[in-house]
Structure 1
């Protein structure tokens, strides 16, 4: 009997435990359901859905919950934009260079570079080049280029090298181009600077050849001679007459007639091999002199020619000579008129190509 009672009590206790566990489980699920409903929203989570809305199946556009704001649009390559904005813009080429006549390379130094250091470096590399190369430094404060030389000072970020493509020796060749390009690159590398683009070799050489063909068409020098008829010309008297006409004795062994800016209009030299100098003129005797006008290097060619002929006739009268051409034929007014017309045609041709005679570019192109 006791055994049956014990078994009954055990069974009843087990049933109570099961009921308690079941009740707790029911309460737990009920509580979880309430919490889930409290935090559930009928709105989509815009932070989890794709930006193109491909996962949406509703006809109406989804509304954002009041407590949420859309994420900011990403800014692509923000760092690159910031760095680019802080860099200096590449300045235009200097006004005194010309893309038609110069091979132009700009160099950027990220740190300020002393002009004397750059000048010394380029001189060591290009000193025996044999072609005209000009260097410039960009003044950020004044927003302009300054041509630099051995005595220049200051420190700058931008520099420019300009190789002249043509002079009276002809156009540059492949060896000249390579020497210049390699030299500028070496200068830049010494200072961890960056060349801002070198013009293509083939294009540069083609421009040089084309420009040289044009220069050959107008590269004309016109001269007249004054020769003695009886006695040779005495140097001291010749010097006095020339200086009285405003001519100046130059280092090249000739007298120069100059305009107000110091540019040569025509020259007066010895028809014989001896060059004029202060020393040689003291004892010189000559059978003749020659006056020459360099047509593409003179601004007002017709006026310069008229002044040259006036000087020649005056010297002929004072020295007892006669004005003749290269064939020793008398040079009269008819010949002078024809030459004056030819000079005007050459100048017009140069003006048509926007290289005016006597201008800065012409003076560079028609130099030795």
Structure 2
């Protein structure tokens, strides 16, 4: 073999090796980032941040989060959040309520046996309550208790709309059948007045309902479900009841989650989730369900920024447009006005009445 042929053979081998190495690098860059990669990165020292970058970002103040939101261990995607909360009682602010006059004391067992099969009237919740003789509080009927006073109610409005004439008539029929079964006489309010009240309440609710959402999109490499879960857990999130959903718990037991984080449930349920590629996740806030005192929008901004920085993502709206600081500031100002309006109507965000109305 001549020197020229030998040189060409060596050059060809080097080119082939370079092509193979490049293809391997491209494959690695396009693969979803996994939880194991995150652990390796965590062991490496962080690169210094330029002063100009530090001035433009929102620093997450996670030390101020309630202790209940800080995880003691890594989450599992199938874990549940918390025990269901006690059902809130009827309230004249958002319910039609009919007192049921009893001929004699009635047992809780008899009341339970006479309850209608369904607890809905059209699209509205229906409920019967008895007054506890010891505490004087109204409660859902319980076996072993005895009641001298009962009442039946239906919700005036929810996200399905206002109580209408047909639903009110169904409520009357259902309540009368229950009353007949236990020997009670219902005293129904005027239908026209209650339907009018329902429409007014629905109009208020429609103008003051708010559900916010940020989308976090990967800039370059995709993420695996485990990679997302471990970063979210560092910020206090725990696994939700559904695959692909995590929540940031409130500071009190039974309170609605402050924030929800969701990604493709099919990726979470895959045979090998670490090979599933996620390119975006959704961060959402049910404004009317979370108390103002939790500062939920402040936490939402901090969490979004922290996740974007840690996972090399960008924060956008649903249409994919990046959200600037000015836009977020305006949203925060609008929310303060919304909170004021809800407070003035005795429907403060996070209250039992608000959560029922905006559901």
The two structures share one fold, judged by TM-score above 0.5: yes
Q: SS at 1:246's partner residue? A: coil
Which residue in the other structure is 1:176 paired with?
A: 167
Matched, 1:341 2:297: no
Measure the CA separation in 2 of the matches of 1:129 and 1:223: 30
Q: SS at 2:318's partner residue? A: coil
Confirm or deny: 8 A CA contact 1:301 1:344 kept in the other structure.
no
Matched, 1:156 2:117: no
Matched, 1:199 2:192: no
1:361, distance to aligned residue in structure 2 (A): 0.9
What pairs up with 1:67-216 in 2 under 5 angstroms?
96-124=89-117, 130-148=123-141, 152-195=143-186, 197-216=187-206
Aligned length: 269
What pairs up with 1:200-279 in 2 under 5 angstroms?
200-253=190-243, 254-261=245-252, 262-270=255-263, 272=264, 274=266
Measure the CA separation in 2 of the matches of 1:127 and 1:116: 21
Unaligned runs of 5+ in 1: 1-94
Q: Deviations over 1:194-250 (max 9, x none)?
A: 21x111111111111110000011111121111012222210111122222211222
Q: What is the TM-score normalised by the length of structure 2?
A: 0.68
Confirm or deny: 8 A CA contact 2:119 2:125 kept in the other structure.
no
Measure the CA separation in 2 of the matches of 1:282 and 1:191: 59
Measure the CA separation in 2 of the matches of 1:210 and 1:275: 44
1:135, distance to aligned residue in structure 2 (A): 2.1
Cα distance change on mapping 1:283 and 1:293 into 2, 3 Å? same
Measure the CA separation in 1 of the matches of 2:267 and 2:293: 26
Confirm or deny: 8 A CA contact 1:136 1:146 kept in the other structure.
yes
Q: Deviations over 1:235-286 (max 9, x none)?
A: 011112222221122225522112212322121112x575866989565422
Cα distance change on mapping 1:131 and 1:358 into 2, 3 Å? same
Runs of 4+ in 1 over 3 A off after TM superposition: 125-130, 272-284
Unaligned runs of 5+ in 2: 1-87
Measure the CA separation in 2 of the matches of 1:124 and 1:280: 44
Confirm or deny: 8 A CA contact 2:164 2:195 kept in the other structure.
yes
Task: Specify the structure having the higher radius of gyration (Cα).
Answer: 1
Which residue in the other structure is 2:291 paired with?
A: 299
Cα distance change on mapping 1:129 and 1:169 into 2, 3 Å? closer
Confirm or deny: 8 A CA contact 2:114 2:182 kept in the other structure.
no
1:130, distance to aligned residue in structure 2 (A): 4.5
Confirm or deny: 8 A CA contact 1:269 1:275 kept in the other structure.
no
Query: Alignment RMSD, CA only?
Result: 2.5
